[in-house]
Amino acid sequence: KDTKKDDSSSSDSSSDSSESSEEKNDKRQKEESPDIEEPPKKVQKTNPSPRTPNTPFKRVDESQAARWKQGFGDNSFRNKRGDEYGRKASDDLIKVRGKDFRHEKTKKKRGSYRGGPITTSVNSFQFSDS
């Protein structure tokens, strides 16, 4: 009887398990999907400053940039203070354009350092509104 019982239970369990798994899947699908499906609500983005058509994008407002232009009028290396080695290299390389620039730059790399002391001072500044 034991073997007969085992055979029947094993065959029953396999058929029961397949039926029960199908039933479980049906139940899961019913639980996961509600009867009334609502589409996701679209969130409209609001522009803080609406742009007019045919206006180029500008990251910086020019009306505020006027106060910054006093110190940035000339961005050349000559106006920078305190970097003697960079000034000397700039004087030599400012005359060179195109392929010759790479050649001159490589020549500068080969030479030993003769530019005076290297400063570790910080030459940057922070804007108040950033």
pLDDT digits (tens, 9 = 90+) for 22-65: 777 666 666 665 556 667 777 766 666 666 788 888 887 777 77
Q: How far is CA 103 from CA 25, 108, 109, in A?
A: 72, 9, 10
Q: How confident is the model at residue 18 (pLDDT cuts 50, 70, 90)?
A: low
Work out the angle at residue 41's Cα, subtended by the Cα atoms of residues 38 and 42, and round it to the nearest 5 degrees.
145
Q: How confident is the model at residue 113 (pLDDT cuts 50, 70, 90)?
A: low
The model's pTM is 0.34
Domain boundaries of the chain, sorted by first residue:
1-32, 81-112
